[in-house]
Chain A
Amino acid sequence: MTTTALKNPSEAERQLTDLFSQQKPEASQKAAFEAFTRSGLPHRRMEQWKWTDVRQAVSRLATVDTAADTSIELPSDAIELRFDGSAWTIPDKLSEGLKIFAKSGGHDFAQADALPLGALASSMTGHSGEDMLMIEVSAKVDQPLVLTYHGGGAAAFSRVVFVVRKDCHLDLFEHYSGGAGFSAFLAEFGLAENASVDRTVLQESSREEVTAITTTAHLDAKATFKQTALSFGGKLCRMETRLEHQGEGAEATLNGAYLVASGFHTDFTTHVTHGAESCVTSQLTKGAVADGGRGVFQGKFLVPRTVGQFTDAEMQHQALLLENGAEIFAKPELEIYADDVECEHGNTSGQLDDDALFYMQQRGIPKPEARALLTEAFIAEALGDALKGVRDQLIEATRRFLRNQGSN
């Protein structure tokens, strides 16, 4: 088997190359790994990774201490798929209009060059003993679909492709709870005309784990993709979403919140292309970071010439530094080639409003409690669209985090 050799590979990169060679890769996997080798593990000299240096964080692949799995009580009617780091467990009985199957010889991962860790994930699926997982939705599925990811030892990889047919709908909850020293997951969504997906993601890792969750989404006309993500980070965590509006009138909501303790790192990176007229994107990202933690937000709207006319896009990032020494790095970016569009971006970072704190205190609420309440309310705004069955639990997880930070 021949692949391009990595330039001066690190130990981890050598291990990845070995892992790759141990599988029987399909042509598409070879192409993806080839794309990965062009950059190797992303590092800070790459513009898109300047604040999230994966090469430095993953010096070698090894089993590490893992985070306690936050138990989330799933909605009683949920259909649960479990990934243990090497294989999927799929329930026998699925609801009408839902088809789930492993597929070999998957299609090429088209955005491999822009998403090196997505490319890595799609090249490695053979290693996990499973091929790519296909999830096809051909009805309005009432029961929420739940994907849980936990385990894998030194490394875990998966690739899941969602195809949502015309006029169909899926409610989806994904829970990533660590269990591998290094993991790279890829989720691809294809939404046909008027299809809709309501996706909620919860990510947790330990401070020794490096996790990359890469998402791509293609929206046909009038499709709706709604995403709410809550991330607690890890030694390093990258939540990257690359979405393209391909049909007129498609709508996307990309909301997220990050809560970062000392020694943790979370990165929310999004890239939205308005490749069709009159599409709407709304994005709200909130964050709270403790001393010694780092939160990164990189958002980009790309509005191409002609096809992107009448775009309506808004990006907001607001973050709280819980203490001095917390790091919040943001890059809200616009690239616009069409002249009749509305694109806005806003970015703020700082601390809680003193007036609001004072007001609550003079109403008899002790300062730490007032601070916790205000911070929780601040974060919760970005979680309001989460799936009903888990929303309160995400807010409860937020509350727990703030309590542990000594905010009350």
Chain B
Amino acid sequence: MPDDVRVKDSIDKGTVAAAKALESENYSAGFKTDIETEYAPKGLNEEVIRFISEKKGEPSWMLDWRLQAYERWQTMDEPDWAKVDYEKVDYNDIYYYAAPKQGAKYESIDDVPKEILETYEKLGIPLREAEVLLGVEGAADTAAEARGGDQKPRVAVDAVFDSVSVATTFRKELEKAGVIFMSISEALREHPDLVRKYLGSVVPQSDNFFATLNSAVFSDGTFVYVPEGVRCPMELSTYFRMNAENTGQFERTLIVADKGSYVSYLEGCTAPMRDENQLHAAVVELVALEDAEIKYSTVQNWWPGDENGKGGIFNFVTKRGDCRGARSKISWTQVETGSAVTWKYPSCILRGDDSQGEFYSIAVTNGRQMADTGTKMIHLGKNTRSRIISKGISAGRSDNTYRGLVSINKKAEKARNFTQCDSLLIGGDCGAHTVPYVENRRADAQLEHEATTTKLSEDQLFYARQRGLGEEEAVALLVNGFVREVMQHLPMEFAVEAQSLLKVSLEGSVG
């Protein structure tokens, strides 16, 4: 946004600055890594799918599953109901598999090509466990600072570079606790039955156009299994990096939390600045059994394209969690700042009685970005509860849409939902949209939807003022509290971007 853009007086200056800091010219992850890359033949056909499956050394049922998905995909139409407008992808003009030539998974971290190690270092993601433990690298420091605690949290990282996982840290230590944390390609080889049991059980092969495409060609991603009663001893994370040109990234993540377990998982994503659009069509499936809890956080910072809308990632992602067991809980937290086009609705199926779903989101769009994002809360079980808090900030010439569904099934006795979505426009050339869908079939359901201007409560303001705070200070204090609703749910290991968002307020919202 140019410096002289006219901004409404009531909008917090810190917010304007924070949104500006996220403009594409400040994109720090936009460098390319020069490394020899091996590709699948360009385009999409059965041969390419066989090629990917073979590269991964998959069992034959997996190949059949992929081919079934491909067959189905050919009969499907690309969805067009979202408020995004982009030149349709030529699905035959991209590479569906790209991997560093020196092989995929490395035995030891010392075998990982130094270009890749450097790439991750530059992004603030240390892959050498020793370094993480010593706190040498920036990421852990940042997180600790962000939390204001002395204890440096440890994070295990699965690093996915284009189509392959290149390193997974702390695996041994996690194994001691019984936690399986590895790339999905390895899991297919080492724990095929476990993967087979859950894969596609939340997002079926033919769920939607992009998920079906993913089912056919997914290359890598993360598999997590937390056994019964185990509280995962550290935070798990995957860092997705797209590097190769003309390549799509199609990862698949599957997290299963067995009875009474707990896991917190964080994903981060970046890509180089390239002039062409690149496709990212991922599928994430979460399964929470009885009394289990999964906390899933995303810091999405794919290259958004330049200020004129050239280049950038198309982020067409299907994320869904199934609260399969009673009293289970799934919580999605997302900070969305990147991508040229976002089409993404992390959802919860609240199947188990007394299960809970949460969705916390901040989406900031700049330049020519278009984001259509939100959630679906499907209440099936009794006494299920969900909460949706979404903040959208549009600047530049971007469009930012919240689209969310709350559905109460006829048998979902005493279901409850609370939804709050606010949006803010910075300048007069962008758009902010809200499209909530509410389907209620229960008289005893309690549904509340709020999407009003965030006005500060007079009482709160008065209280703060009579404690001796100046008006401006009081407003800053209260407004910050408002955005923290989302931020406090976010582990911030990678989240340098997220920190600047702490300054964001939605004072002056339009609706």
Contact = CB atoms under 8 A, between A and B. Distances in A.
Interface in B35-83: 81, 83
A323 B511 contact: no
A349 B438 contact: yes
Nearest to A320: B443
Contacts of A327: 439-441
A142 interface: no
B127 interface: no
A336 B425 contact: yes
Contact of A339 (B81, B427, B434, B446): B427
A322 interface: yes
Given A346-B451, A348-B447, A350-B443, A335 B437 contact: no
A383 B227 CA distance: 58
A306 B441 contact: no
B250 to A, nearest CB: 27
A309 B449 CA distance: 25
B201 interface: no
A397 interface: no
B439 A343 contact: no
B433 A334 contact: yes
B428 A336 contact: no
A276 interface: no
Interface residues of B, number: 37
Nearest to B511: A343
A351 B444 contact: yes
A337 B430 contact: yes
A325 B441 contact: yes
B449 A336 contact: no
A400 interface: no
Given A305-B428, A336-B431, A350 B441 contact: no
A305 B450 CA distance: 24
Interface string B446-458: 1111111100000
A256 to B, nearest CB: 17
Contacts, number: 125
B442 A324 contact: yes
Contact of B437 (A305, A321, A331, A337): A331
Contact of B449 (A324, A329, A342, A346): A346
A342 B511 contact: yes
Nearest to A297: B438
Given A327-B440, A336-B423, A348-B447, A342 B435 contact: no
A326 B447 contact: no
Interface string B137-163: 000000000000000000000000000
B445 interface: yes
B152 to A, nearest CB: 42
A351 B8 CA distance: 40
Contacts of B13: none
A64 interface: no
A325 B442 CA distance: 6
B426 interface: yes
Contact of B447 (A334, A341, A350): A350
Contact of B435 (A306, A324, A333, A341): A333
A344 B439 contact: no
Nearest to B426: A339
Nearest to B405: A331
A350 B444 contact: yes
B491 to A, nearest CB: 32
A339 B395 CA distance: 10
A346 B450 CA distance: 6
A338 interface: yes
B451 A329 contact: no
Contacts of A323: 443
B443 A321 contact: yes
Nearest to A50: B437
Contacts of A342: 453, 510-511
Contacts of A320: 443
A348 B451 CA distance: 12
B432 interface: yes
A333 B410 contact: no
Interface of B: 7-8, 81, 83, 410, 423, 425-453, 510-511
Task: Please list the 10 inter-chain residue pairs (A to B) with the smallest Cβ-Cβ separation, ordered nearest first.
Answer: A343-B511, A321-B443, A339-B425, A351-B443, A347-B449, A334-B434, A349-B440, A337-B431, A330-B438, A335-B433
Given A328-B440, A333-B433, 5 more contacts: A320-B443, A321-B443, A322-B443, A324-B410, A335-B433
16 contacts: A303-B510, A305-B431, A320-B443, A325-B410, A327-B439, A328-B440, A328-B441, A330-B436, A334-B432, A335-B433, A336-B433, A336-B511, A340-B8, A345-B449, A346-B450, A349-B440
